[in-house]
Chains A and B, each alone.
Chain A
């Protein structure tokens, strides 16, 4: 029984995810705490020289801010740091005094999840749909246009796309009011289940979503085109046709379902890319999500926030990957049965 669980796909995938989170948490600890002249030392030195605080009380202040016991041996500090992480204690912000990092993270996280999540769903479904059409109408004019468009948008970095959108759509042609679209909500709008709120949230997220969609859709169009083309040559499709099944049913249940597997494996890479790219995109549009907070905390040298937000972004990416993998094992039964990666 135990061996069966230990060898199962889910279990091994879970272990992998946990190890990755653990390694990243350790890396940030050693970067921030142990780097010679690193943030903790710099903070103490700054207090001593600038505010004439004694070294001892400066160390105490730093210890409480970073939630670390700086007198303890390093391994003990490390264990305590890990223990705090497990309890969700990420320390306190240096800039906004006394505000717990976990609170900051929680208030910005939904916006990033909302914009990235809807962008990925839109871009995956539209991309896969277009890819299928391209394969069905291959060598037609539509196919050539879409193939070229797809490879072009996938060659342009997402933030360059963002700059182009701001410069052309926002400033040169004045189609949208870029400055009014900043932030995650218009002033005075309260979160709630009503049309004004949802409409306003979509309005502010629309440009980031558009940018993420343009940045990822090309890959899915092109992989779906390729995989549909090869699926169309499979025997079971010929058999389905011979059985006289309706074209639409063949396209969805036989071709589409199988052809969508290769682009689906691209999903995990795209999740990491888009989450990472959100740092730049949110900065460009001044969209107040995690990427925006991360940028500000780096600028202000607010290390506890920086560390906390980075860890949360990493954890989110790993969780999303885990979810994508589990979904994939649902879609492709071979993975579950085979039990190998």
Chain B
């Protein structure tokens, strides 16, 4: 019994510590107004697309008399070519796009950081090999390759799409990570940690990683934007047969059904574009806050 209470008390304090840390991070992020606004936009969009569908049902009733209506109280973002509400489609259509975007970013960031730091640490042939690989992947036109792959394999699995995108978009960050590790390796505090014989894991995780965390976090957000670019592009072309309705599919339908050429369809077309653009701008703006959170020097200077 005693051990159980002891454990729960420990967990309480861990949760407490986490919350305290979270609150202080938020406070730091709030110091940059633009960055914090971006952060709020991103959080709102993620919440709306992942939690929103629970509360707002997808509007699937066809209303012939309500085609391409401008926004009103009952249809806050207007209606589409069949009189369905656009807002509910926007709320339901973010999840597949965001899932693939974030998942692909996790994959590409992981590959980039692993190969980059490994290459810089080990050096020699391994390093040369990884750099060659990065240079090669960098010169492949990614979108056509993805399109060709989508044409040969049937890409109806979200994870497969995310994996493919992740496997193609890592080289830039990998080269940057490699350069970072190469320069960090030579710093005095790393030298002294080595002299104290603190071991490679300690050096990597306690001395070098914290110094790269900010850099990696910022590049992760950029990776999300490039992955979103690829997914939306492929769905816009209709090459990724994602069955659910999503922002890319909305744009594809607008294009293939000729809605773009009708003046009334503007709300239906602009809604997914606005959702995508807001999310992208939010991420880019958020980086300003992230730099401050991860760089203590900037904090005091501000």
Partners in one complex: yes
Q: Tell whether, in the assembled complex, residue A16 and residue B141 are in contact, meaning their CB atoms are under 8 Å apart.
A: no
For residue A41, give the distance in angstroms from its CB to the closest CB of chain B. 12
Known: A160-B273, A167-B270. A31 touches B148 (CB 8 A): yes
Q: Tell whether, in the assembled complex, residue A155 and residue B284 are in contact, meaning their CB atoms are under 8 Å apart.
A: yes
Q: Tell whether, in the assembled complex, residue B260 and residue A298 are in contact, meaning their CB atoms are under 8 Å apart.
A: no
The binding surface of chain A is classed by DSSP as helix
- B229 at interface by CB-CB < 8 Å: yes
Known: A269-B138, A280-B143. A172 touches B266 (CB 8 A): yes
Q: Tell whether, in the assembled complex, residue B142 and residue A276 are in contact, meaning their CB atoms are under 8 Å apart.
A: yes
> Which of B139, B145, B151, B276 is close to A20, meaning CB atoms less than 8 Å apart?
B139
How big is the B interface, by class? 35 or more
> Which of A20, A32, A152 is close to B152, meaning CB atoms less than 8 Å apart?
A32
Q: Tell whether, in the assembled complex, residue A159 and residue B233 are in contact, meaning their CB atoms are under 8 Å apart.
A: yes
Using CB atoms, name the residue of chain B closest to A19. B136
The binding surface of chain B is classed by DSSP as helix
Q: Tell whether, in the assembled complex, residue B229 and residue A272 are in contact, meaning their CB atoms are under 8 Å apart.
A: no
Q: Tell whether, in the assembled complex, residue B237 and residue A280 are in contact, meaning their CB atoms are under 8 Å apart.
A: yes
Q: Tell whether, in the assembled complex, residue B284 and residue A157 are in contact, meaning their CB atoms are under 8 Å apart.
A: no
Q: Mark B19-56, 1 if CB is under 8 A from A, else 0.
A: 00000000000000000000000000000000000000
Using CB atoms, name the residue of chain A closest to B150. A298
Q: How distant is the Cα of A164 from the Cα of B270 in the complex, in angstroms?
A: 8
List chain A residues, Cβ under 8 A from B277: 156, 160
* CB proximity to A under 8 Å, residues B131-172: 131-132, 135-136, 138-145, 147-153, 172
* CB proximity to B under 8 Å, residues A271-330: 272, 275-277, 279-280, 283-284, 291, 294-295, 298, 301, 303, 306-307, 310, 313-314, 317-318, 321
Q: Which of B144, B149, B229, B270 has the most CB of A within 10 A?
A: B144
Q: Tell whether, in the assembled complex, residue A272 and residue B142 are in contact, meaning their CB atoms are under 8 Å apart.
A: yes
The size of the chain A interface, using a CB distance under 8 A, is 51
Q: Mark A45-65, 1 if CB is under 8 A from B, else 0.
A: 000000000000000000000
Q: Tell whether, in the assembled complex, residue A313 and residue B141 are in contact, meaning their CB atoms are under 8 Å apart.
A: yes
- B232 at interface by CB-CB < 8 Å: yes
Q: Tell whether, in the assembled complex, residue B136 and residue A294 are in contact, meaning their CB atoms are under 8 Å apart.
A: no
Q: Tell whether, in the assembled complex, residue B132 and residue A16 are in contact, meaning their CB atoms are under 8 Å apart.
A: yes
- B189 at interface by CB-CB < 8 Å: no
Known: A160-B277, A163-B273, A164-B273. A306 touches B148 (CB 8 A): yes
For residue A167, give the distance in angstroms from its CB to the closest CB of chain B. 6
List chain B residues, Cβ under 8 A from A23: 136
Q: Tell whether, in the assembled complex, residue B172 and residue A269 are in contact, meaning their CB atoms are under 8 Å apart.
A: yes
- A38 at interface by CB-CB < 8 Å: yes
For residue B265, give the distance in angstroms from its CB to the closest CB of chain A. 9
Q: Tell whether, in the assembled complex, residue B276 and residue A279 are in contact, meaning their CB atoms are under 8 Å apart.
A: no
Q: How distant is the Cα of A279 from the Cα of B138 in the complex, in angstroms?
A: 17
For residue A101, give the distance in angstroms from its CB to the closest CB of chain B. 14
* CB proximity to B under 8 Å, residues A14-36: 16, 19-20, 23-24, 28, 31-32, 35
Q: Mark B252-295, 1 if CB is under 8 A from A, else 0.
A: 00010000111100100110010011001100100000000000
Q: Which of A20, A157, A303 has the most CB of B within 10 A?
A: A157
What are 17 A-to-B residue pairs whose CB atoms are below 8 Å? A16-B136, A31-B149, A38-B152, A163-B260, A163-B269, A167-B266, A279-B144, A291-B144, A294-B144, A294-B148, A298-B147, A298-B148, A298-B150, A298-B151, A314-B140, A317-B139, A341-B131
5 cross-chain pairs, A with B, having the tightest CB-CB distances, nearest first: A276-B141, A276-B143, A298-B151, A157-B229, A155-B284
